[in-house]
Amino acid sequence: MARRTWLGIGASLRLGREERQGLVLSGGGSKASFQLGALAYLYEVVGIEPQVIVGTSAGSILGAMLAQSADREQQVAALRDLDALWLDMTQQSDMFTERTWFRRFRSRGQDLVQLLNRDTRSGWLSGGLHRIQLPFAKAAESPGSPDEPGSPAEAQEELTGQMETLAMATLDPTAEGPELTPSQVMAILAGLSRMRGMGNDLGVIMSGAEKTRSMYIPGPLLRALLGEGALFDSSRVTSSGMTVRIAMVSLESGELRFMREDGRLVDRDDVELPGEPHDFSRGVLASCSIPTVFTPVPMDGEHFVDGGVRENLPAEMAIGPLGCTTTYVVTSNAPGVRASGSFEDKDMFQIMLRSTEIQSDETERDEVAYAKLAGAVVIEPEFDVHEALVVDPGLIRINRDYGWIRAAEQHLGATVAEQALDRSIIAARRRIWELEKNHLDPAVPHDERELLLLARLKYDLRDQVPRLRPELLPEGADQWWQRWEAHPVAPQVDPPWLV
């Protein structure tokens, strides 16, 4: 959060500015289902009509779809299309598809871990090889190689606009042999005899990790958005009359950048930067490129990653430079981090990951605090229904309902008691989903106690819902207790608690 904004926040609230309504959407991966629920309430009940949309990561996908038209009814239609896309996902690969090398690594990962643990202790991996400056430590790069993401491969020469973006995002080069760099060969020669069982897998893993620099490619969700006859058209954003900013971060400069609706990049003060305009879809892809999850996106000689690296909730842009007088801010992320066990025996990597998690939470706390201090309407969860990389139809629906409820609470001024009851209902549905999942899994031994607990939670749900004002709950809430939560495979048996 920029210091100038905190010091100058009063200036952003001066009277006399032209009325301008803005919408800010955070990152959060698959947790954007929370935002979809909140947006449904804001559009259909509150009746928002944003002229400005600012988004990061998953929020940039939602924002881009909405920004194809300045007409409120068409934005509502786009929201329903997004909702259908999210509800159609049944597994992680629908949103995050494993790259070939990472899939191979996961299948052989335990073998590698055991090997590295054993050989690190014996010294062959820590015997000083890393100190040697090798003149051939980097493999020669071939211009135009299809193994380099974003390169002008021959197969992509005919593509333009968002089809080029789609091809770039879904390119998954596969190493069919042990295509290792000389430095990698030296690094494993001493332990080659120990790796014989890995065979061709080792080459695929090491070469793929080096070339793609990411574990996943975007799943079918992206093709549904960008492919032929898809729901999204970059040109409609450019011509809609909407003011749009999509956040991303340059790895080279380290700076926060935004793409405008016309495809040009601006800085955090909304000052236009040198360079040619890009297809708007390229900005959305860059904004969603979670480091190591997806490949960085090249533009203007730089490589861009997820805007959440610097600003996961870019309310500052909407309230400050873009001058929104009424701003609706929706974040998918609950404040705080889950408590962990002792770190007495944790390694450096685990400590680094935990510290990064804590730091990211603190940054978003500041962003939420700024938005609230500036007078924005902020809608946020009190707890996370699921994690950002989790895709499950039941959890997505529960989280969407939770977003609707939190928006209703904010708009209607729900009491502390009402909010506590809402929280209890959503937590109960989350636990019910888990118990149902176990009950429906033939590989899990049936536990009579869990079945009794499932029935009790369903009856509690039946009794809790009528205690709330009807306007605090989405349509169909009175039926939650009677039906199964959603699962990847629809249950073919009657609910046992109704028998």
Which residues are marked as active site? Answer: 57, 306
138/140 Cα distance (integer angstroms): 6
- Which residues share a beta bridge with 294? 291
What one-letter code names the amino acid at 294?
Answer: F
Among 421, 445, 323, 343, CA closest to 14: 323
Among 308, 315, 300, CA closest to 266: 300
> Which burial class, exposed, middle or buried, applies to 402 when counting CB atoms under 10 A from its CB (0-12, 13-18, 19+)?
buried
233/227 Cα distance (integer angstroms): 10
The one-character DSSP state at 302 is: E
> Which burial class, exposed, middle or buried, applies to 21 when counting CB atoms under 10 A from its CB (0-12, 13-18, 19+)?
middle
Which residues 6+ apart lie within 8 Å of 157 measured at CB? Answer: none
Parallel, antiparallel or unpaired: strands 297-299 and 265-266 = unpaired
> Which burial class, exposed, middle or buried, applies to 348 when counting CB atoms under 10 A from its CB (0-12, 13-18, 19+)?
exposed
DSSP string, 245-300: EEEEEETTT--EEEEETTS-EE-TT-PBPSS----HHHHHHHHT--BTTB--EEET
> Which burial class, exposed, middle or buried, applies to 282 when counting CB atoms under 10 A from its CB (0-12, 13-18, 19+)?
buried
53/174 Cα distance (integer angstroms): 38
Angle at 70 between CA 66 and CA 76, to 5 degrees: 45
Q: Are the C-beta atoms of 231 and 225 separated by less than 8 Å?
A: yes
Torsion of the alpha carbons at 175, 180, 181 and 185, rounded to the nearest 10: 180
What one-letter code names the amino acid at 29?
Answer: G
The one-character DSSP state at 197 is: G
471/367 Cα distance (integer angstroms): 29
